[in-house]
Chains A and B, each alone.
Chain A
């Protein structure tokens, strides 16, 4: 579904991603883990079209996304949830969700997506008219996931969904991701929460200083001694 080939990315000439290649197959959940500053968000931003890579290729559904501006990527079936729970704060929950369906023109399709989101997060239905900026962190995380689903994507990229959330809410968010996965959505997940993300995913990549240092089945990575010592402080 998604294939990244020899990706190099930088900010104003300062390179932060070095020769990264990986793929996400249809139906998978793939996790990218790594310390703060490793370059995880940069990779997602580049795939989303917001950053232009210095070199390399991004192939999605058989076609290259290089040169495709961010606002055209969503209509290819890809939704991106950036880190930081970026709701539109001065708009209602409902307006936020409607904006997620900006590219959908048929009213029936919008209501179908809306129903699906409300089923996943009933709380959003109750709070439809509330201003999104007044939501708690957990509610905002539900809202940005819901908003991304409104375009009915087949591929979802999500950045640090658990950052700064209470454990019960983290569980809720991860349950939602598993439900979406069962519904057939392919997911690329980026996390500092190594444990959670490797538990939910099938395959994982470890990113260190902008380079992939390890890759494999998630369950193998979870048991890997190096990962245990670096990310769980166990030696």
Chain B
């Protein structure tokens, strides 16, 4: 039982981290940014080559992945999505989906479909409730929780964070305060990309690095955003962790063959009974 819960927390942390960036972006742009799934894949390769080819220490590799993710998302917004801002025909969503597949295919083109493995950044195990848990997995949970706290502090306490929340709550009025919406979008996308990059860097040694690695985490993260409620950081964290644990328990006690179905069953149930998500639609 405990082992499933801990594995679920690891999985859930990753869903939550990708979902956090997607949620921030979705709240202000109304785009579920599928390209984050592709950014996640490319960032995982950035980590892999930073460590294996460039011999960089793992913490520098994580920073490199965050930067790569931030730059990709920043550019996608600045040079692509921005052109179609305000259009209601879902062209931005189509562009995001296209980018997701393009990036995954770029990975196949550049590095083949073969799956690559990295050593754990930190070796060893801790004993928790009588279960041995690798430091690598513990690190994932801790880093994700710390990132949630930091981003929450940034949004609640800093001037830039408040400007981002203001723009999210009323994008038409924010400019009259002197807030540059283009800058807000750039910051939010860069943040989202960095979070996807960090998520990829954290899982690279636990799961393998391969071109299709982004699909499931992306879909689960989208489910987590909807379950947690758009605009809710706490909701995203709880929904992410909750989904991870449910999947892990379901795989352990019911059947592993349906592991990836649980998320969507829960999604449908929640959407039918509480369409605004479990944690309402409060924008934080």
Contact = CB atoms under 8 A, between A and B. Distances in A.
A75 B179 CA distance: 11
B50 interface: no
Interface in A48-80: 48-50, 69-75, 79-80
Nearest to A89: B169
Most B C-beta atoms less than 10 A away, residue of A71, A73, A91, A151: A71
Contacts of B231: 90
Given A90-B284, A91-B162, A95-B162, A69 B177 contact: no
Interface stretch (A14-22, A98-106, A171-179): A98-106
Given A50-B172, A88-B170, A90-B283, A151 B165 contact: no
Interface string B159-198: 1001101100110111111111100000000000000000
Contacts of A98: 159, 162
Contacts of B178: 71-72, 74-75, 102-103, 151
Given A71-B181, A102-B159, A88 B166 contact: yes
A219 interface: no
Interface string A146-183: 01000100000000000000000000000000000000
A82 interface: yes
Contacts of A112: none
A90 B169 contact: yes
Contacts of A75: 178
Contacts of B181: 71
Given A50-B172, A103-B178, A88 B163 contact: no
A86 interface: yes
A98 B181 CA distance: 17
A86 to B, nearest CB: 5
Most B C-beta atoms less than 10 A away, residue of A91, A95, A103: A91
B281 to A, nearest CB: 10
Contacts of A79: 176
Most A C-beta atoms less than 10 A away, residue of B165, B170, B176, B177: B176
Nearest to B167: A88
B179 A102 contact: yes
A71 B180 CA distance: 6
Given A71-B180, A71-B181, A88 B175 contact: no
A86 B177 contact: no
Contacts of B283: 90
A42 B179 CA distance: 21
Contacts of A100: 177
Contact of B173 (A49, A82, A90, A95): A82
Contacts of A89: 169-170
Contact of B176 (A70, A90, A91, A95): A70
Contact of A91 (B159, B166, B175, B180): B166
Most A C-beta atoms less than 10 A away, residue of B166, B178, B179, B180: B178
Interface in B23-68: none
B276 to A, nearest CB: 14
Nearest to B180: A71
A110 to B, nearest CB: 10
B282 interface: yes
A20 B170 CA distance: 29
B170 A86 contact: yes
B282 A102 contact: no
B166 A99 contact: yes
A82 B176 contact: yes
A156 to B, nearest CB: 12
B175 A90 contact: no
Most B C-beta atoms less than 10 A away, residue of A69, A72, A90, A95: A90
A172 B10 CA distance: 57
B163 A99 contact: yes
A213 B273 CA distance: 55
Contacts of B165: 88, 90-91
A103 to B, nearest CB: 4
16 contacts: A50-B172, A50-B175, A70-B175, A70-B176, A71-B176, A71-B180, A73-B176, A74-B176, A88-B173, A90-B165, A90-B284, A99-B174, A99-B177, A99-B179, A102-B177, A151-B178
> Which 4 residue pairs of A and B lie closest in terms of their CB atoms, listed nearest first?
A70-B175, A103-B178, A71-B175, A74-B178
Interface of A: 48-50, 69-75, 79-80, 82, 86, 88-91, 95, 98-100, 102-103, 147, 151
Given A50-B176, A99-B177, 5 more contacts: A48-B176, A88-B169, A91-B165, A95-B162, A103-B177
